[in-house]
Amino acid sequence: MNLDDFDYPLPEDLIAQEPLAQRDASRLLVLDRKAARVEHRGFRDLLSFLRAGDLLVVNDAKVIPARLLGHKVDTGGKVELVLTMPLAGADGATWRCIGQASKAIRQGMKLDFDGLGAEVLAARGDGSYEVRFDSENLQEALERVGQLPLPPYIRREVSPADRERYQTVFAKNPGAAAAPTAGFHFTESLLSQLEAAGVRTAKVTLYVGAGTFLPVRTQVIEEHRMHAERYEVPAHAVQAVERTKSEGGRVVAVGTTAARALETASAGGKLEAGEGVSELFIYPGYEFRVVDALVTNFHLPKSTLLLLVSALAGWDRIRDAYAQAIERRYRFFSYGDAMLIV
């Protein structure tokens, strides 16, 4: 498949720069795959499209202040890093990062981020780096010197409000460099209404990396290699999925990250509890093993996330739905409106 076939024109003023005052005040485009029908509703109408026995699977990863601004110790040149994933078997202070600087970042360089020292252990060919930080409590140091890593298409400085709004109400496990943004639309009140209606909830964790914003660099889609992200699917989530399937309910993933965690954990043919690293690339032709429906946001042209929703609903239907959303001036991307694929 050709990457250019998954492009669409998006007016720049539809890219949401700020969150709405109320989380669940966003709009909801509902795409019914079987009926090939689109409805335009509000997110508070979600309950109208779910039923007793359905299972919402949410991602409870919490975004950390993963963006660091500093300088090279030797030259004073500016450098920026975003922490994406701790390295397995390391000491907790060694992370894979993506970064940029006034001149190339090289192995052996010493860096300083407002008193937090670091050394570049390796410069990888994929544009990422292995960096060891000089801190016995890196999480505490990040809270002191780090910034929230807003997506690059949000063209403003981080505000105090982002500390709360660039997290979901499910956020519990710190370690993500980007938010599972489909969860932004949920409130405790809406969750209580869903629970009262018999819609259950289960939690998985996928620590979203900054690589989620990296473009697909191969024209032939099948040649693209996904960035790695840590995930965990606990036993209670597996049990909830099995119960839902056995009773005829639907597994509704809240976000592409929850969907990837579930599908990665079922790669052996059966959903299994455990943790690991997901590099699963879902694009049209993929057969979903676990996910029946998806709550998601609107995604960038030619992105891996757009390919995932196209795998679930079909690119022709997604393209038509996006065209309607643009015509009706939906808000796009992280702080934008929502979509439900059933």
Within a domain: 178: yes
Boundary (domain end) residue, out of 145, 170, 190? 145
SS3 content of the chain, % helix, strand, coil (to 5): 30, 30, 45
- Taking residue 14's Cβ as centre, other Cβ atoms within 10 Å add up to 16
Report yes or no on 40 lying in a domain.
yes
Q: What is the pLDDT of residue 213?
A: 80
Q: Is residue 27 in some structural domain?
A: yes
The residue assigned the tokens 């690293």 is 277
Q: Quick one: pLDDT at residue 72? A: 97
* pLDDT score recorded for residue 254: 98
pLDDT at 145: 97
At residue 91, the pLDDT reads: 66
Same domain, yes or no: 28 and 128: no
CA dihedral 45→39→31→188, nearest 10 degrees, is: -10
In a domain, 152, yes or no: no
Q: Between helices 315-327 and 304-313, what is the axis angle to 10°? A: 110
Quick one: pLDDT at residue 89?
Answer: 60
Per-residue pLDDT 10s for the chain (342 aa) are 999 999 999 999 999 999 999 999 999 999 999 998 999 999 999 999 999 999 999 999 999 999 999 999 999 999 999 999 998 665 679 999 999 998 999 999 999 999 999 999 999 877 789 999 999 899 999 999 999 999 999 999 999 999 999 999 999 999 999 999 999 999 999 999 999 999 999 999 999 988 788 788 899 999 999 989 999 999 999 999 999 999 999 999 999 999 999 999 999 999 999 999 999 999 999 999 999 999 999 999 999 999 999 999 999 999 999 999 999 999 999 999 999 999
Query: Which run of H or of E encompasses 110?
Result: strand 110-113
Residues 51 and 84 placed together within one structural domain of the fold? no
CATH number for the domain harbouring residue 318: 3.40.1780.10
Domain check: are 195 and 307 in the same one?
yes
Return the residue matching tokens 């979903």.
288
Do 206 and 260 share a domain, yes or no?
Answer: yes
Structural domain that includes position 264: 3-63+162-341
Residue 153 in any domain: the answer is: no
Tally of domains in the chain = 2
